[in-house]
Chain A
Amino acid sequence: MISKQGKLEQDLGGLLSVILRQVGIAAFKYDDQGFFTPASQLPKWFLQLYNRKKGMTSPKTQYDLAAAFPFVENFLFDAKQVWNKFETGHIHSGLWTEVENGEQELYLDAVAINADGVPILLLTNETNNFDVRHTVFQAARDLALENEQLECAIQRHQRLLHQQLEGICNQQISFSEINKSIEKEHSAVLICRQDGRTEVFNKALIDIYSLQNDKELKRKSLLEKWVTEAENLYPEIHARLEVGKHWEGEFETSDSYDSKKWIRLMIAPIMNEDEEVIHYICIANDISDIRVSISEVETITQFDSMTGLPNRKNFWKYLSTQIDIKKHQGGSLVLYYVDLDHFKQINDDLGPEQADFLLNTVASRLKQCVKRQDYIAHLGADEFAIVTTEYGDIKSYANIAQRIIDGIYQEVSFNELTLNVSASIGVAVYPQHGLNARQIVRSADYAMYHAKEMGRNQYQLFGPSKVKTNSQRLRIAQGLKNAIDNDELELLYQPQICMGIENIHRAEALIRWNHPNHGIISPNVFIPIAEEMGLILDIGRWVIQSACRELSRLAKRNIKVKISVNVSPKQFKYSNLSKDIVQALEDFSIDPKSLELEVTESAFMENMDDVIQQLEEIRLLGVSIALDDFGTGYSSLSYLKNLPVDQLKIDRSFISELPKSKHSRTIVESLIKMAHELSIEVIAEGVENEEQLNYLKGLNCDFIQGYFFHAPLSENELLSMYESVTLD
């Protein structure tokens, strides 16, 4: 079995290494001795910084990052928490600053990743993005500082004014005289009796409450109104005033037009000789402007600077608030969770600048797809969210979702090419699909995931079945990670019987997963999940290694057989398949002619030229190639002549209808004839009865595979079978 380190090096050795270098990320694998081994070619900025730190210039194979960077040393504690867990995950360190050449500052971030049990540390240079972030925070803090100073000035003034008024009151000067002293005061002043009846007030108070005349104020008890308004934020206000204590605070009040304002209020009692409250001095200032700018500060930090849309933080706040409103007022809201299809590939292929351009384009299009009052947020990377709060039925949700899909799916022109970008959308409705923000987002996420599974570029409304499917997928994904290490995977072998006069022995290796709790899980279930999660690369290597081991075992018993193994399109794209095969052939000293790869037509879909080149390299080794499931999906007879294949496997769906279906007969006859003309041998799979066998024999089909002859056999059963027949 290949070690985890070996696998890692193979995985990262290719595409990922190139990407990491291009984006300037230094990637390392952590070892138990506390050193870091580069997992890709290290970027220049890192090497310069490290060499300066350690005073070394020669390239090293192991880096002592903890010694070079005290910040990383400290972060290792958190990183190890992630690395030691039995699940994939990651944690960010947060930004730190390093100084290069005593002047230039580098702003770095560390990310610890548990990649299927392999401890990875990424060091990213955030210097280029730092200015934008710093500008936002600087502006926010400058504004916050200014507000804080304003509030302090108001507070100081209120306290000073209170001292003056208290002095005047204690001198038992008449209220008309007091009135004169406060009439030009900018702060609103009210002196009232203990029961709230008004004694004296000034114009500033009338202005705050937009009163038409002072009679209106005399009729009301403002004290009572204030206490009622303030007690939501300050429940202690009653108790303090009752015992004659001073109180200060900020709260929202409403004027005579019911307009909302924020005021800062101080209420101070005036006591008589018997320590009884006889009057209150109340001083108020309108601080609505300050409050607005506090909210602006929050806004600055809750918007995505690239798209100008609210960010994830704002999204959660908005969604929670809207749900609270709906809880009290009734009604529903709809969340559309939008995820761009294949964004990562676009990002990788076109680079981050073009990817940003695409995200901006999508943001603009989303705005055109919904009403002005609807809410759009950019949650990060390729995820957007739209919230609509108007009542609607399923048809209206569907219309909006389709409009979004159509809106996004228009051409985007880059410098040298034009793309159509699609999106998958999950739709969830409050309260039907969740009673709080977290549940609604989870439901929409499930639905979006389902839309991806159904082929992308579509929307799905949340339904309970999606939860079940996703939970099952998660369980499978979790178990798959350990399946190889726990020896839960097994290869069975289904013989392919030669119809010619030569006694050629062949068998197809078929993978099974013997799950400790769920029994046998079909490859139809777990292979798509493994492909999606990238685990297929490990599984693919395991299959090749296991098949070669079996070939070696059979060869030692003098049994000459060819075994075919299935390979995934992902193995062409993300691994060095040729290298894996050479490794396995060498490990078990196998004649390459004993091994065959089965590839499906879908392998050629994404990058036909590259796949053909890889297959030609593999053929040069002596390994033969079979084209699997031929006749389904993308089949084109015309391109078959261009593919480097030795065998063609007719899909079982055609065989099962033989010989009754005229349609299937025509196809199978044509395929066999054409393949033979191209010197390609034909294997019919799924043969289950004598009638099918005889029909295929009549067409000179070269090999037959199916339950009519053999079910898939275990290694020992295969050995017994071959030992029971005469072999060359």
Chain B
Amino acid sequence: MINKKICMVGAFAVGKTSLVKQFVDSLFSEKYHTTIGVKIDKKVIKHSDKTTQLMIWDIEGVDAFTNLNSSYLRGASGILLVLDGTRSQSLESAKQIKGLIKSVLGNIPILLIINKADLIESWQFGLDDAKVLEISQDNTFITSAKTDQNVEQAFVRIAELMTA
């Protein structure tokens, strides 16, 4: 079995923890419970003919008084850069975070997750706007932690990219 570290990064309140909770425990809560620091979860997934244990680092979101601690990214084989479709501010944060990831980790697989697909009527930006992040369509997922839309698919995709 292959072990791989992936990091969930993005602005605060975009749903990083909810995505992990849905993926690992199949649970979702409407209540926003902010993360402080880091929480690490593990899940074994099978994809193609491989088995990979994902070590998922759910990292505190970025806001006016919390920067992304780059040392948490060390050793990561893949990144899930999470946005909240209903908040254009999360796109602005993502631009800065991607720059930091590039400078710390170089060219490692990055998946763009635009979360809260269940609120798509309230979205403030779309896939076209997200092109500014220069992440290919293949590696962009519109997800909903609430309805479980595309959650597993996104984690499987990052596993494939990391083990390719």
Q: Is the CB of B87 within 8 A of A74?
A: no
Q: Is the CB of B65 within 8 A of A94?
A: no
Is B88 interfacial (CB-CB < 8 Å)? yes
Q: Is the CB of B38 within 8 A of A298?
A: no
Complex interface: stretch among A140-148, A260-268, A422-430: A140-148
Q: Is the CB of A97 within 8 A of B32?
A: no
Complex interface: stretch among B71-79, B96-104, B107-115: B71-79
Question: A95–B88 Cα gap in the complex (Å)?
Answer: 29
Question: A145–B38 Cα gap in the complex (Å)?
Answer: 21
Question: A96–B64 Cα gap in the complex (Å)?
Answer: 21
Question: A140–B32 Cα gap in the complex (Å)?
Answer: 12
* A73 to B: closest C-beta gap in Å: 8
Q: Is the CB of A95 within 8 A of B36?
A: yes
Contact with B along A277-313 (1 / 0, CB 8 A): 0000000000000000010011001000000000000
Q: Within 8 Å CB of A140, what residues of B?
A: 63, 65
Question: A145–B64 Cα gap in the complex (Å)?
Answer: 11
Q: Is the CB of A144 within 8 A of B12?
A: yes
List the A residue with the shortest CB-CB distance to B39. Answer: A97
Q: Is the CB of A138 within 8 A of B34?
A: yes
Is B51 interfacial (CB-CB < 8 Å)? no
Q: Within 8 Å CB of B64, what residues of A?
A: 144, 294, 297-298
Among candidates B38, B55, B63, B71, residue contacting A141 with C-beta atoms closer than 8 Å: B63
Question: A137–B32 Cα gap in the complex (Å)?
Answer: 12
Q: Which of B56-98 contact A (CB under 8 A)?
A: 63-65, 69, 71-72, 74-75, 87-89
Is A152 interfacial (CB-CB < 8 Å)? yes
List the B residue with the shortest CB-CB distance to A108. Answer: B37
List the B residue with the shortest CB-CB distance to A109. Answer: B37
List the B residue with the shortest CB-CB distance to A149. Answer: B87
Q: Is the CB of B72 within 8 A of A138?
A: no
List the A residue with the shortest CB-CB distance to B73. Answer: A74
Among candidates A78, A96, A141, A294, residue contacting B37 with C-beta atoms closer than 8 Å: A96
* A151 to B: closest C-beta gap in Å: 8
Q: Is the CB of A77 within 8 A of B74?
A: yes
Q: Which of A478-497 contact B (CB under 8 A)?
A: none
Contact with B along A120-138 (1 / 0, CB 8 A): 0000000000100110011
Q: Is the CB of A134 within 8 A of B12?
A: no
Q: Within 8 Å CB of A137, what residues of B?
A: 34, 36
Known A-B contacts A95-B36, A134-B36; the reply to A141 vs B13 at CB < 8 A is yes
Q: Within 8 Å CB of B37, what residues of A?
A: 94-97, 107
Question: A156–B13 Cα gap in the complex (Å)?
Answer: 21
Known A-B contacts A74-B75, A134-B34; the reply to A148 vs B40 at CB < 8 A is no
Q: Within 8 Å CB of B69, what residues of A?
A: 94
Q: Within 8 Å CB of A77, what residues of B?
A: 71, 74
Q: Is the CB of A95 within 8 A of B38?
A: yes
Q: Within 8 Å CB of A301, what residues of B?
A: 65
Is A588 interfacial (CB-CB < 8 Å)? no
Is B136 interfacial (CB-CB < 8 Å)? no
Question: A133–B36 Cα gap in the complex (Å)?
Answer: 9
Among candidates B34, B40, B75, B87, residue contacting A96 with C-beta atoms closer than 8 Å: B40
* B120 to A: closest C-beta gap in Å: 16
Contact with A along B125-161 (1 / 0, CB 8 A): 0000000000000000000000000000000000000
Q: Within 8 Å CB of B63, what residues of A?
A: 140-141, 144
Q: Is the CB of A148 within 8 A of B87?
A: yes
Question: A107–B12 Cα gap in the complex (Å)?
Answer: 19
Q: Name A's interface SS.
A: helix
Q: Is the CB of A78 within 8 A of B71?
A: yes
* B77 to A: closest C-beta gap in Å: 13
Is A71 interfacial (CB-CB < 8 Å)? yes
Is B124 interfacial (CB-CB < 8 Å)? yes
Question: A71–B5 Cα gap in the complex (Å)?
Answer: 11
Q: Is the CB of A70 within 8 A of B55?
A: yes
Q: Within 8 Å CB of B124, what residues of A?
A: 152, 156
Among candidates A71, A74, A145, A148, residue contacting B32 with C-beta atoms closer than 8 Å: A145
Q: Which of A153-198 contact B (CB under 8 A)?
A: 156
Q: Is the CB of A74 within 8 A of B34?
A: no
List the B residue with the shortest CB-CB distance to A313. Answer: B65
Q: Is the CB of B74 within 8 A of A74?
A: yes
* A76 to B: closest C-beta gap in Å: 10
Q: Within 8 Å CB of B32, what residues of A?
A: 141-142, 145
Q: Which of A68-99 contact B (CB under 8 A)?
A: 70-71, 74-75, 77-78, 94-97
Q: Within 8 Å CB of B88, what residues of A?
A: 152
Question: A685–B33 Cα gap in the complex (Å)?
Answer: 72
List the A residue with the shortest CB-CB distance to B33. Answer: A138
Question: A95–B37 Cα gap in the complex (Å)?
Answer: 5
* A726 to B: closest C-beta gap in Å: 71
* A53 to B: closest C-beta gap in Å: 12
* B21 to A: closest C-beta gap in Å: 12
Q: Is the CB of B74 within 8 A of A298?
A: no
Question: A152–B13 Cα gap in the complex (Å)?
Answer: 16
Q: Within 8 Å CB of B55, what residues of A?
A: 70
Among candidates B5, B36, B40, B65, residue contacting A298 with C-beta atoms closer than 8 Å: B65
Q: Is the CB of B39 within 8 A of A145?
A: no
Among candidates A78, A96, A133, residue contacting B38 with C-beta atoms closer than 8 Å: A96
Q: Within 8 Å CB of B39, what residues of A?
A: 96-97
Q: Within 8 Å CB of A156, what residues of B?
A: 124
* B86 to A: closest C-beta gap in Å: 8
Known A-B contacts A148-B89, A152-B124, A297-B64; the reply to A94 vs B34 at CB < 8 A is no
* A650 to B: closest C-beta gap in Å: 61
Question: A35–B13 Cα gap in the complex (Å)?
Answer: 38
Question: A297–B64 Cα gap in the complex (Å)?
Answer: 9
Q: Within 8 Å CB of A148, what residues of B?
A: 87, 89
Q: Within 8 Å CB of A138, what residues of B?
A: 33-34
Q: Within 8 Å CB of A130, what residues of B?
A: 36
List the A residue with the shortest CB-CB distance to B75. Answer: A74
List the A residue with the shortest CB-CB distance to B11. Answer: A148
Please name the 6 residue pairs, one residue from A and one from B, whose CB atoms are nearest each other, closest first.
A95-B37, A97-B39, A96-B38, A141-B34, A138-B34, A301-B65
Listed A/B pairs (5) with beta-carbon separation below 8 Å: A71-B40, A94-B37, A97-B40, A156-B124, A298-B64
A96-B39, A107-B36, A152-B88 are known contacts; what are 18 more A-B pairs with Cβ within 8 Å?
A70-B40, A70-B55, A71-B38, A75-B71, A96-B37, A96-B38, A97-B37, A107-B37, A134-B36, A137-B34, A141-B34, A141-B63, A144-B12, A145-B13, A152-B89, A297-B64, A298-B64, A298-B65
Q: Which residues of A contact B (CB under 8 A)?
A: 70-71, 74-75, 77-78, 94-97, 107, 130, 133-134, 137-138, 140-142, 144-145, 148-149, 152, 156, 294, 297-298, 301
